[in-house]
Amino acid sequence: KQTRLGKIYLFVIDEDAAEISPVQTINTAGILDQKWCYHTISGSPILAAVTSIGTIELYRLVDEEGALNLKLWIEHSIGQDILALSLDWSTNKTQTEEPKIVVSDSSGSVSVLKVAGEGLEQIGTWKAHGFEAWIAACNYWNPDVFYSGGDDCLFKSYDARVAEVAVTTNRSHEAGVTAVRSCLDVEHQLLTGSYDEKIRYWDTRNLKKSTSEVETNGGVWRLKYHPTSRDFVLAACMYGGFKLVEKDSVVAEYGEHESIAYGAD
């Protein structure tokens, strides 16, 4: 049986010196995705990570005599013999002590959990895709709504109050759906990325057809909006490098790393 080993690295940024310094390394199973909660919980910044042994781990960021460290707070198993592939927090625009987290996995399922005290409560699991569910993402304007994309080329939307079934299923992607991103500034705007080397823009009120597409010349693994301008999108495009997209066109790119582009922020 193959064992995947991973690490979480914590860095601090010195903005004046434009330097990044490592301050902590945590040995774990393989890490497939990790995201900070968009607000503190009980006064602490919280990092969530999903692993190759099907767990989600929540870490508190603590300051111990001036030294920042991550401390494992909660560990929860999503399932046996699966890889937990992606996660997202529901509370990008709202704040609560009990935020939801959506997690996708290699069995094709998507799970919704809620922080409850000192643990995670599983709200439900949806058998979403016939193959790997590469990505799951929340609608930041409605914490009950979430999305998934899978290796079966399907893009789906759900409501956590409706058990077991997707609300919509879109079949327009020509390859696996690997990235989904809700827009923080425009309520009904959403992005998807795919192995078919396209970024698609959507209006969430009508998920039958995308509103526009951008060719990226690389499978789109991750998408991030510019923090203050919805017109700019940063894309990690695997073998196609990193692309900066303005509205409907690529305006800049970077490929000097000469390896697969898997993450961008």
Domain boundary assignment for the chain: 5-171
Task: Report, at the CATH architecture level, how domain 5-171 is classified.
Answer: 7 Propeller (2.130)
What is this structure's pTM? 0.94
How many CB atoms sit inside 10 A of residue 96's CB? 13
How many CB atoms sit inside 10 A of residue 94's CB? 13
Cα separations in angstroms, 129 against 24, 111, 166, 244: 37, 12, 10, 30
Alpha-carbon torsion (47, 176, 129, 149), positive or negative? positive
Q: In one letter, which amino acid is 25?
A: T
At residue 117, φ and ψ (nearest 5 deg) are: 65, -120
22, 48 in Cβ contact below 8 A? Answer: no
Confidence of residue 1 (pLDDT cuts 50, 70, 90): low
Residue range 51-77, pLDDT digits in tens = 999 999 999 999 988 899 999 999 999
262, 221 in Cβ contact below 8 A? Answer: yes
- Region 94-105 average pLDDT: 96
Residue range 195-210, pLDDT digits in tens = 999 999 999 999 999 9
